[in-house]
């Protein structure tokens, strides 16, 4: 987590994939909480709870996996395509 302290406004962080069993299952949320006021744009490609738990921090972009639960505020018709991404935040570029 020390490397997160070097991130600044305009930086982009990708949080993607599954996490090792040795890491806490809320690691993505912890990272986003740490960076929430720094202006870092965070892209999340995750499944299930890893994805759902970060939405409250409004990631810049999410790419839910096909088997991830669908947040109720997204239209289900958007999930019929194979590749999908959603902009949740406001770019600071």
Task: Check residue 35 and give its pLDDT.
Answer: 92
Q: What is the pLDDT of residues 22-77, one digit of tens each?
A: 988 889 999 999 998 899 999 988 877 788 888 888 888 887 666 555 555 555 44
Q: Which pTM does this prediction carry?
A: 0.68
Q: What angle do CA 49, 76, 26 make, to 5 degrees?
A: 10
Q: Which residue, among 39, 34, 27, 14, has the nearest Cα to 90 in the 3D structure?
A: 39
3-class SS of residue 62: strand
Q: How far apart are CA 5 and CA 3, in angstroms?
A: 5
């Amino acid at each position: 987590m020390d490397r997160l302290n070097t991130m600044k406004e305009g930086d982009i962080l990708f949080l993607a994939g599954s996490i090792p069993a040795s890491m806490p299952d809320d690691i993505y949320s912890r990272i986003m909480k740490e960076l929430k006021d720094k202006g870092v744009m965070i892209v999340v490609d995750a499944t299930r709870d890893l994805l759902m738990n970060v939405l409250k921090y409004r990631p810049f972009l999410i790419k839910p996996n096909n088997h991830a639960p669908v947040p109720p505020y997204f239209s289900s018709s958007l999930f019929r395509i194979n590749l999908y991404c959603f902009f949740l935040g406001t770019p600071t570029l």
